[in-house]
Amino acid sequence: MKRKEEDYMQDLREIRSIMERSTKFLSLSGISGVLAGLYALAGAYLAFNIFDDTEALVYGIPSGENVWDLLLIGTVVLLLAVSTAVAFSVNKARRKGERVWNPAAKRMLANMAVPLVAGGLLALVFLAKGLIMLMAPVTLIFYGIGLYNASKFTYEDVKYLGFIQMVLGLFGAFFTEYSLLFWAFGFGVMHIIYGIYVNYKYER
């Protein structure tokens, strides 16, 4: 059997594609990123209304009722964002004829989840100690670390998103009176920009 250059090229292309598909989770959807950003902006707006004067955010320990409101907002935003991302990813994988829960997805999630859980627990510690102003920055920083870590197993651009979240978190921790604004920018605006970017670059 005589094989030609075109066959060899096709072999190499196939090798490349399988290597990429089997190590990277490429079913993340841009639209779910945009939606997650919108949920975060809505959540930040509600949180702003709880602390209508920034003084309370910097020095104050909110009353017991406010703490529960904050936790509720955070949990609802998180659940909405995660379930939207899962639903869109399952859909995207199905359209490509792939399983969504493959080894690459597991690796990406594990790399993401470890820093996220640590950061979430630290945020709760800050809440218990009355360091409310550090809660938003710490979630940004650990989310950024999680993204940076997980980027090896998905679109490489996720690395830059992670980097930006870390920087925003550090700024938020320094300028605590604006920490909620930095949070809204990171989780809200950046997700929307990133979602549009992914949609434009990979889904058109």
Is 9 near another protein (CB under 8 A)?
Answer: yes
Report the C-alpha gap between 143 and 134 in whole angstroms. 14
The residue within the footprint of another protein, chosen from 95, 97, 128, 156 (CB under 8 A), is: 97
How far apart are alpha carbons 44 and 76 in whole angstroms? 12
69 touching another protein, by CB under 8 A: no
Residue with smaller CB distance to another protein, 4 or 204: 4
- Using the structure block, give the residue that is written with the tokens 């196939």: 14
We find the least distance from the C-beta atom of residue 108 to another protein, in angstroms, to be: 13
Evaluate whether 146 touches 165 at the Cβ level (below 8 Å). Answer: no
Kindly state whether residue 1 participates in binding another protein, applying the rule CB under 8 A: yes
Q: Closer to another protein at the Cβ: 102 or 199? A: 102
For the chain, where are the alpha helices, taking DSSP H only? 5-23, 30-50, 54-58, 64-95, 103-128, 135-150, 158-174, 179-183, 191-202
- The nearest distance, CB 107 to another protein, in angstroms, is 9
Binding site for another protein (CB under 8 A): 1, 5, 8-9, 11-12, 14-16, 18-19, 21-23, 97-99, 102-103
